[in-house]
Every structure is written in structure tokens, then in C-alpha cells.
Chain A
């Protein structure tokens, strides 16, 4: 290569297009650095909250105005419509977690500034994951997301359950990453490529068996993050032990990020694996729903319900693997499903964070009895979220399910779709149980309901409630803005 050729290559790599594609990531990274700087001086601490929100809003605008510029940096980062849409959803999920964290921790708790910095690192990692065009980029994104979350899960380090949640999440997360890397290495040995396009082309070569073993390991590690059967057992413990605002982020953002890459990765998977993926989806739904039925703690119940939802959305992935022609519809369905899920589950966990800040007892379903009389709005909002999780029409959850099932039906996965629909009906059983407890049962005599007002949490839950209704009633508004 001559000097001129190299100079040309450099110009091409660092073109305005590249900077536009990287703008959201750079904005977030800039925000993180500024927050770190602010942390140095006590006098600047009042700037924490405005800076955090400014970084989120700036990144949102960067996503919106830089737009989809296509593959950049030699194809290792792909900024298409899906990346931009995912990026904005991740910001929403982070913002919700931040709102609910405002009055959740005791103000005397050390390192609250660091908490926000770690929280802001998560969407950076998630966006890198969603746009990753090769396994190296994906790996960096995954770790950028996971490592802050390990710390955040164990943030209340004076409490046994928080430390335990952090450790469990770390050990299983690190194991998942090791599977991913060994899978990537085998795929690389087999095909000579780590970029998804190259892997797809290299699968025809002589290294096919090795590459397939590698792809299976990578899929396994993605299923781990997504809490798919049989890799779902860690979820309830980690969700329950972590501080609830962090659970909001783990339940919504992390899951969406793994799913975002899985949708890209699905293009590499052979069509013959669709039935296996659909089977895993149904088993996941069964495991999640049956687990949720017997729970007495709402936080744990929602964790199991999150497993069931991961199973549902995996049906759309199976659909796109079975019929690659449906890829466009599938990504639309998955994006809509996760958008609805982020606001629904985000809101539900948010209300839990609100209640839990008054005492651990308040997340038990028993202590929610009769809540409707004392806190009518709180009970109504929680009911809305639960109905949306159950997939009742006029909520975002219903349309998400409808889109996912329509993709899997058109991909000829009829049996699994029918099983999926039936399992969704089972799910209504435990959602309704909570609503019945709130509206029809007498208040527990020994426990006064929490009456503390929390402005940030109120704002966060109302935002979620509005979004759930808007997504349910005016889905075209969301889909039109995304595509």
C-alpha cells in the first residue's frame, strides 16, 4: 500500500459520516467525563443532576439529528434505523432508572455521584452492542454495560442481599462472557472472520462444523443475558437483591441490548435452528409463568414475568431465523415490544422502588392489600402496568404481543405460537391476583400503607403510564417516528 492509499483510507475512516455516526456515543462519553470531573469538587456537586439530564438529552438529540448514516469504521459499527431507535430506548430506560433512584437511596449513602456515572456508562455500552457489526465491537459494548452493572447491583454494599445479587450477577455474567469469547474464537478459527458479514460468507467453507459450535456458544451467551431457559435461574435472585432502580435498568435496558444484537446475529444463524429457538422461547415462557404463579413477593414475581416476556419476544427472533424475508417486520415487532416493555416493566419496578424505599415489607403482595383505598392513583397506575404486562388490549403490551405473534405465525411456527398465546393467558392469572388484592381485599391491620410522596418517582411513573397508553392507542405514532 502506498502512502497516498493509506492517507485515503484514513480520510475515509474519519469522514464526517463517521463522526456523525459516533456523535451519540461521544456525547455520552463526554457527559461521563464531565460528571467524573464534577465529582472531584464538593462545590460542583449541585451540577450532578443537570449534567446527567443534559447528557441524556444531548445524546437523544445526537441520535435524532445525526440519524442513520450506515456502516462506519470499516463496518464494525453499523448505524442504521434500528441502532438509532434502540439507542433512544436505552436512554429512556436509563432515564427511568435515574428518576427512580433519586429518592430511593439514603442521602447519607457514600458514592451517590459515582452511582450516576456508572448508570450513564450503561447506555453507552448498550448502544455499542446494538450497533455492533462484529464480535469485537459487541464484546466491548457488552463489557461496557456489564461491568458498571456488577458494581451497581452490589451498590448497597452494607446489605447482604445487594452484595449477593452483585456477586451472582458477576459470576454468571463473567461465565457468559467466557462462553461468548470462546465461541467467537471457534467461529474465527472456522471462518477467518469476526465480522458478521464475513462469518455468514465463511460458513460455506471447510471450517463449518467448528464455526457452528462457535455460533452455538455465542447464542448461548446471548440467551444468558436475555434470561432464556435454561439460563434463566439467576434472574429472580439478582433482580430481587439489586437496588430496585438498578433492577429497572437490568430488566429493560440490558435485555433490550442483548436482543438488539441478537436480531443482527440472527442473520448468521442457519434456518434449521429456528425450531430449536422457538422451542426455547416456549419453554422460557412456561418457566417464567409457572415461576411467577407461586411468588409472594411482587419484585420476584415481576422478575419471573420478565423471563416470560423474554421468551415471547424470542419467538420473533425464531421467526426471522426461519424466514429471513421477515427480518424487517421482525425488527419492527421486537422494537415495539421492547419499547412497550421498557415503559411497562420500568413503571412497575419504579412503583416497587417507590414502595420499597419505605421498607422491604412493602414489596410483598400481602402488604399491597387494600392499597386502592389509601393510594388510588398509585394502585390504578400499577394496575395499568400489570394489565399491559398481561397483554390486555388498549395497552402497549397487547400490540407488542400481537406483532410478535404475527411474525412467528407468518414464519410458519404455528404450534409454538399457539402454545405461546396459551401461556400468555396463564400469565394473566398472577397479574390479576395483584390487582384483586389491591382493590378487593381489606387492608392488613398490622401494616400502614406507605404514604411518602416522591416527586421524581411520581414523574417517572406518570411518564411510563402515558407512554404505555400512547403505545397502546396510537402505535402508528411510535412506528412512524422509528422507521
Chain B
């Protein structure tokens, strides 16, 4: 008895939607970063759910499990950590200059 794939994909879509909404509406850079992480994890959840779905079919056919999805998910986890490190470094650089982490403070360059 396992959770149907559709439910997992639906949950991932909801996570992705929350991520996009947060990215578009929030003004705190840390929260924006968290929203992006949420979107990445939505992708990961879809990837492993898809891998399970495809593996079931492949195992019935006598082939090995499908590993493409999980491999990408592992890469995503690793790279997300790197991205977070660089992103936080940039936010610290901004904080040192302006004593704030608000997106509104990043608006000097314009036409």
C-alpha cells in the first residue's frame, strides 16, 4: 500500500506554486531564497515520484529500476547547497553595505 503517484505530483505542484508565490510577493531576501529552495524540492519530489512510477513498469518488464530521476535529484540537492552558500554570501555582502536584507534596497540600477 503506497501513496498514489498522482498525489505526490499534486503535492509537488502545490509546493512549486507556494515557491513561486513566495518568490514573487515576498520582499525579504532570505524568504526569497527559501522560496527558491521550495521550488527545487518540488522538482525533487516530482523526480523521485516519477522514478517510482517508471520503475514499477520497468521491473514488471524484467529491467532494472529507472535511475535517471533519482540521479538528477541527488545532483539538485548538492547544487542547491552550493547555491544557498553563494546566495547567503551575497546577502551578507548586501547587509554589510546597507544594514538590510530587503529587496527594496536593491534598486539603485535603473533606466
Contacts and interface: CB of A to CB of B under 8 A. Distances in A.
Contact of A188 (B32, B50, B93): B50
A192 interface: yes
Given A164-B109, A188-B50, A135 B93 contact: no
- Majority secondary structure, B binding face: helix
B47 A185 contact: yes
A165 B109 CA distance: 8
B40 A181 contact: yes
B109 A241 contact: yes
A136 to B, nearest CB: 5
A47 interface: no
A161 B107 CA distance: 9
A211 to B, nearest CB: 11
Contacts of B90: 150, 154, 163, 166-167, 170
Contacts of B39: 175, 178-179, 181-182
Interface in A155-171: 157-158, 160-161, 163-168, 170-171
Contacts of B66: 192
Contacts of A298: none
Given A181-B76, A192-B66, A154 B93 contact: yes
Contact of A237 (B42, B89, B93, B110): B110
The DSSP consensus for interface residues of chain A is helix
Which among B29, B69, B91, B98 has the greatest number of chain A C-beta atoms within 10 A? B69
B23 A194 contact: no
Interface string B28-65: 01001100100110111011011101100000000000
B83 A185 contact: no
Contact of A184 (B53, B54, B72, B86): B72
A136 B32 CA distance: 25
A381 interface: no
From B19, B79, B89, B98, residue with most partner A Cβ within 10 Å: B79
B72 A135 contact: yes
B1 interface: no
Interface string A223-245: 00000000000001100110000
A291 to B, nearest CB: 8
B75 A136 contact: yes
18 contacts: A134-B68, A139-B72, A147-B82, A150-B90, A154-B90, A167-B91, A170-B86, A174-B87, A178-B39, A182-B39, A182-B43, A182-B46, A184-B43, A188-B72, A189-B5, A194-B68, A240-B109, A291-B111
- Enumerate the 8 nearest inter-chain pairs by beta-carbon distance, A residue then B residue, closest first: A185-B46, A189-B50, A178-B39, A181-B43, A237-B109, A182-B43, A192-B54, A185-B43
Interface of B: 5, 9, 12, 16, 19, 23, 29, 32-33, 36, 39-40, 42-44, 46-47, 49-51, 53-54, 66, 68-69, 71-72, 75-76, 79, 82-83, 86-87, 89-91, 93-94, 97-98, 106-111
